[in-house]
Amino acid sequence: DEARLTMLQALTDLSIDSPIYRCIGDTTNEGSMASLQIRMSTETKHSGDRFQKNVIDYAAEWESVVNTQIDAGLVEVKKLRETLNHYESKVEGLRKKTNSLESKGKTTPDRKMERLNRNEAKLEEAAKAYEDKALKQCALMEEATAQGWRDLHPLIQRLVKWETERCDRESGVLLGGKPYLEFLDETVSASSDSTPKATEENADTVDQKSPANSETSETDK
């Protein structure tokens, strides 16, 4: 945009007071280069706004949803793993105490056996919860990577639609300058047609005023 404006300003300066100025820098003519540039700048801004809304924002929301789901699942899996580790360590300690008593020929008190059984049940629950969640999380991550193109599909549709509409709108703006292209051709043609005439008339005038013609006139007298 900046380069175009610089070029347009230079062309405008060069064309001032010429027949083609109305096609270049005259903003009162809708099809002049200056008017087209103003409209193109406005259209470029609107296209940028539409791209932000229909493509960038959509992609950002898609990324946020996927990342949120995956991140939340990973956090939960981590917590379940920590719970599982806790009960594995606890049950291992209780079993060692029980085995130690039995190796010495002693009977494990009922209270300690109940505690061991209770924690073994919790260990089993923790292991199942962790395994179920970990499998679901793996499936989710696999779907996000292997089947991610299904979510990409509507994004591509939006991008192609935006690009097509942008081209149509910009073409519509540029077509507004077509009549002035014809005017430029006519102006140049008219100027070319008139130049030889002017040259001929000037030549005749010069010939009439030349010293040779003056001498001839005097001799004739």
* pLDDT band (50, 70, 90) for residue 202: very low
Residue 178 scores a pLDDT above 60: yes
The pLDDT of residue 76 is 95
Structural Rg of the chain based on CA atoms = 44
Which DSSP category does 56 fall into?
Answer: I
CA distance 144 to 123: 31
Pick left, alpha or beta for residue 16 (phi over 0 → left; psi -120 to 50 → alpha; otherwise beta).
beta
Query: What is the predicted pLDDT for the residue at 209?
Result: 39
pTM for the model: 0.56
- Residues 40 and 173 sit within 8 Å (Cβ to Cβ): yes
H-only helix segments in 57-177: 57-103, 110-146, 148-175
CA distance 123 to 83: 9
pLDDT digits (tens, 9 = 90+) for 122-168: 999 999 999 999 999 999 888 888 888 888 899 999 999 999 999 98
Residue 3 has a pLDDT of 82
Q: How confident is the model at residue 69 (pLDDT cuts 50, 70, 90)?
A: confident
The Cα–Cα gap between 2 and 131 comes to: 60
Nearest to 20 by CA among 177, 198, 195, 188: 188
